[in-house]
Amino acid sequence: MNFELKPMGLVVASTEKCDALVILVPADFKAGKDDLSALVAQALKSADLEAKPGKLLALYRPVQANAARVVLAGIGSGSARDVRTAVLAAVASVKSPSLKKLMICFATPAREEAVRAVVTATADATYTYTHTKSKPEGRTLSKVVVATTNATEVQASFDRAAGIVIGAELAKEWANRPANHATPTLLAEAAKELAQLPKISCEVLGHKEVAKLGMGAFMAVAQGSDQPLKFVILKYSGAAKSQASTVLVGKGITFDCGGISIKPAPEMDEMKFDMSGAASVLGVFRSLAALKPAINVVGLIPACENLINGAAVKPGDVVTSMSGQTIEILNTDAEGRLVLCDALTYAERFKPTAVVDIATLTGACVIALGGVRSGLFASKDELGAALFAAGEAAQDLCWRMPLDEEYAEGLKTTFADVANVGGRAGGAITAAKFLHRFTEKFPWAHLDIAGTAWKSGAAKGGTGRPVGLLVEYLMTQANSK
């Protein structure tokens, strides 16, 4: 799908030929002298249209426009949230196999964040998964024109949003694929394909190399599956070699049954989404290739399955991590932190400016924050503030959670340096405190995306989050150099 930004208002938009025209109408709309503006004003006056976010008035071949279908959509205050609500509703109302060209026009000059919301919401509303369908019916929409009179002012924001969409859709694609179509090997192949893009390189380590590195925690999780583990190292080189990298670490559990601490059967199919952190790293690198920021980024993906065989790790087993710290595995379903801790130790070699890990780590985070905001933990206030601000700007929201040392008390054990679980109370925090032990040599943040990486029910599927947040953070860091 191709996005294009054009400098035009309602007068010119009314003459454009397209399958559907969506007009975004704010609460403070004031009509011009053209026929389309008059139509909008009349609809508002008669109360057939409300300017509240998501309220629509659909028209078929009105004489005031050249489009086959016209939808007037209220956007309230014109904020990013209001615009997103309106666009999701409007695009859903015109979505059909015949929709190939769509124009979305602001009735008044648009804010930067509103333009970004149009792009990301349109992509979300039209995304279609097809990989495992015998008769795939993919997205028919091929072109989206976003129109506003102040296009020049919002061009940079538009371009960034279009770049984010490319990465978010790659993340959705890999998160949505069933586990037999997204094994650790296939995930590594997807990373290798990214290396065909400019400024990106990829290296994949197997069991032999990982064993040589001493990644005992990662290997302990993988030993319950017949699928070989893979450790993916992606590099985006957008700046001088002397400039330190930002490292992203994505949890790549391509299927999680819980191991011997097996999960309940209902909804276990959704554990194919347990590699959404890894999928988001792939997505970020795809966006970096499109946006070309002047920054160096490393992506690390420890990928394996958490299954049960005769060699599977058992509750009570003690393993030695790459850092040399020993870990008592009290619960084999707390496996994400085991693969991540070795990846975090590996990240030390890059002497990074910051390390951010992304993981569907705990159900406790879902209880705490639901599906609206990702959990954010940060060892440095500056890093935490930057990530929070990036989430607000990208409308990919997160919330800062505590890292008080007292939360680590529950991880103490008689039989190793640390246990991998600390009880139910504050479970998202104790998981973060476990990871915190492996991050002393760099500024570190942890994004728990267990509640935001996918949706259940009728809308089941990956969300592509937090690609938007991460790309926004990286672009801001690049622009501050």
Decide if 300 contacts 252 (C-beta within 8 A). no
Decide if 441 contacts 350 (C-beta within 8 A). no
Six-digit token string for 259: 């191991």
d(CA 228, CA 7): 52
Between the CA of residue 214 and those of 113, 328, 465, what are the distances in Å? 46, 16, 31
Phi-psi region at 19: left, alpha or beta (left = phi > 0; alpha = psi -120 to 50)? alpha
The catalytic residues are 263, 337
**CA 9 to chain CA mean position, Å:** 32
Q: SS3 string of the chain?
A: CEEEEEECCHHHHCCCCCCEEEEEECCCCCCCCCHHHHHHHHHHHCCCCCCCCCCEEEEECCCCCCCCEEEEEECCCCCHHHHHHHHHHHHHHHCCCCCCEEEEEECCCCCHHHHHHHHHHHHHHHCCCCCCCCCCCCCCCCEEEEEECCHHHHHHHHHHHHHHHHHHHHHHHHHHCCHHHCCHHHHHHHHHHHCCCCCEEEEEECHHHHHHHCCHHHHHHHCCCCCCCEEEEEEEECCCCCCCCEEEEECEEEEECCCCCCCCCCCHHHHHHHHHHHHHHHHHHHHHHHHCCCCEEEEEEEEEEECCCCCCCCCCEEEECCCCCEEEECCCCCCHHHHHHHHHHHHHHHCCCEEEEEECCCHHHHHHHCCCCEEEEECCHHHHHHHHHHHHHHCCCEEECCCCHHHHHHHCCCCCCEECCCCCCCHHHHHHHHHHCCCCCCCEEEEECCCCCEECHHHCEECCCCHHHHHHHHHHHHHCC
d(CA 289, CA 293): 8
